[in-house]
Structures are given as structure tokens and as C-alpha cells.
Amino acid sequence: MEIFNTMGDMKRALLGLLGLGLVGWAWAQPQAGEYPYRSPAFTTWVQDSYRESPAQGVQPFYAWFEAAYAKTPQAKLEGYPNLGLMAALAQRKKELAALRDPAAKTKLELETGAWLHRLVKATLLKFSLERGYEFTYAVTRSERQCLLQSVLIAGMLQQMGIEAGAYMVWKNQQGQVSNLGHVTAIIKLSDGRDVEIDASEPTPFFTHQGIFAPIQGKYQFAEPVFNPDHTISGYKLVATGQVVKPRAVTPLSFDYLRSQFYYYRGERAPGGFLAAPKTPEGLAASERFLRQAVKYAPENPLATYVLGLVLQREGKAEEARAYIRKGYALYEQYGYVPDGPKAAFAAASR
């Protein structure tokens, strides 16, 4: 599908992007994401949360989470009931480092993923789309959401030396399609396979049918090729039908995930984008959060597109059209355009 019907359309859209200073965003190359639990990178997400949500009197996240681990028997590393969280992570890291056989190491990586799935569900008891992306509400309400639980699992895996990260999900286990509506953790196993870990589900190793991540150096929509044991042997690119090996797929970057935290803040702002009724103050809050999301990851198509919708609601028509067009162009570049961006682009092009 072509983005523009005529060369004139293309020139007009480009001039609009230039006028709004948006051309400089274009087509950022994805970077690898490293954010071990308690690292400065991971702490940045926590600090963002404490700055952007009610945090007065809220216990620091690390202290709360590690205390929750200490008092929750079902969260503990098997065989080490008296170790605190950091000591348990260090113990498992030592065990993993001692293994040289890829098959044995893969087995222990899978066991570790299952442990962390159990740990997160036992310490963060409630799933909340409304607030679960904030570390502050993890502390005050024991809440989690797909992004927070995924980066928490991935961060602990990285702390143990396991290659791990997160993917966006656009098609669930039943094949239901969304506009990048979910996040899952991923382990890049030592034997070359991948496996999804989703704490939204009762069992650790899940089979979401469509993911979005950097593939062969650029963001792409893809469909995992699953083995009977739920591990992934390849990814079929939506744009071309080519099947690539798991090593061609990179987890989402730190900046992309930071952008996604801000996306959820914008999406869920009281009185904002998803609220009913909407208020001028709520839409302004959504706009602020979404602008920050786009600043951190200009390549994030969902944040770009939804920012356009919010600006449209606020009556900022010219800027709204530019962001909607930019979002559409990103989706198309990545190989798949969901129905919502298609309809918004068609309306913005009239």
C-alpha cells in the first residue's frame, strides 16, 4: 500500500512535517536494551514513575519489592528459602555461569523464567490496566500491568546474565489482533531458541501469535513459529513472508520501553485519551505524556499515532494531521498498518 496517492500529496505532507520540525525524527535505528534490575537504566524507569505519579510517602520500590519477596514463600528460589532477592539472583547467576553445555544452560534458563513468573505473580497480586504501569502503585496497591511486569522479569533475568528483554504484542494466542496492545517478556535461550514469558497468564511460557521488535536491524511486525513446547524456532516477517532465526530478532530498546511507559501515562490520564468524559485538563495531560513518549522513541508508531488523535481532540488540526500521517508512515514501514491508523490516515488525507 502506498502512503500517498500523488507526488503532490507527498510534497504537501513533507512540507507539513518540516514546518512542525518532525522530519528529524525519521527512521531511527533500534538499539539493544540493557537494564538489569537495580541498574541505573532500570532505576530511571522507577524514578520516572515516582516523578509522574503520586509518590509522597511512598516507600522506595526496591525496598518494598525485596521485602515482599522476603516474606512470600511461594516467590522464593527453590532450595534457597532464606536468601533475599539479590542473593537469590546472585546464586542463580553463579549456577548459570558454571554451565558450559548449551542444552543444560537452556534448561536452567527455562527454570529461571518459570521462577520469575511465579515470583512476580506472588508479590504483585493485582493486574491493573488503569495504574499497573507505575512502580508507585506496585508499592501502594500491589498492582502490575503488562509493561511493568515484563521489564521487571527481563531486568531480573539480565541481572543473572541471561539474554532477555521485551516485545510488543499485536496478535494474541487466539489470533486476536490489536494495535500493539500488549507487552511480553522474552528470553533468548542459549540453544538459539526464544521463549515468551507472560505474567498476565497462569502458565509462564506463552504463545502470542504476533510480535513487534527490531528484526535484522529495523522494527518489524512478525509472527513467531512455535515448537510443541512453546519455544520459538523462527519468526515470519509480515511484510515479506520470510522466516528468520531468533538471533535476527532483538528485544526492544531501553528508550523504546521508556517511551511506552509514557505512552500508557498518556493513554490512561484521568480525563484524557481513553477517559469518559474527557476534560481539557485531561487531554492536556495526555498530550504532555505522549509528547514525552515520542521524544524518547520517535520510532514508536503507537505513541505517534495516538498523539495525533489527542491533538485532534484538542482542535490542533494541522499538527494532528502531521502526527497521524507520521504514525501511519511508521506502521507501513514496519510492515503492517492496523485498522485504526488506516482510518485516521484516510480522514487526515481528505
State residue 19's pLDDT score: 38
The pLDDT value recorded for residue 28 is 44
Mean pLDDT across 109-122 = 99
Q: How far apart are the C-alpha atoms of 204 and 194, rounded to whole Å? A: 13
Global confidence as pTM: 0.91
3-state SS class at 335: coil
pLDDT band at 350 (very low <50, low <70, confident <90, very high): confident
Q: What is the pLDDT of residues 60-81, one digit of tens each?
A: 999 999 999 999 999 999 999 9
- 143 strand-pairing partners: 126
Q: At residue 57, does pLDDT exceed 70?
A: yes
SS3 171: strand
SS3 6: coil
Alpha-carbon distance of 229 to 99, in angstroms, equals 22
Beta bridge partners of 107: none
Q: Which domains does the chain have, with CATH numbers?
A: 7-30+255-348 (1.25.40), 40-252 (no CATH)
Cα separation of 222 and 282, whole Å?
Answer: 35
- Region 40-56: what's the mean pLDDT? 98
Q: Are 304 and 326 in contact (CB under 8 A)?
A: yes
- Given this model, what pLDDT does residue 22 score? 42
> Which one is predicted more confidently, 20 or 88?
88
DSSP secondary structure, 23-62, as one string:
GGGTTPPP------TTSHHHHHHHHHHHHHS--TTPPPHH
Reported as a pLDDT band with limits 50, 70 and 90, residue 32 is low
Higher confidence at residue 11 or residue 219?
A: 219
CA atoms within 13 A on the CB side of 65: 23
Q: How many CA atoms lie within 13 A of 73 on its CB side?
A: 0
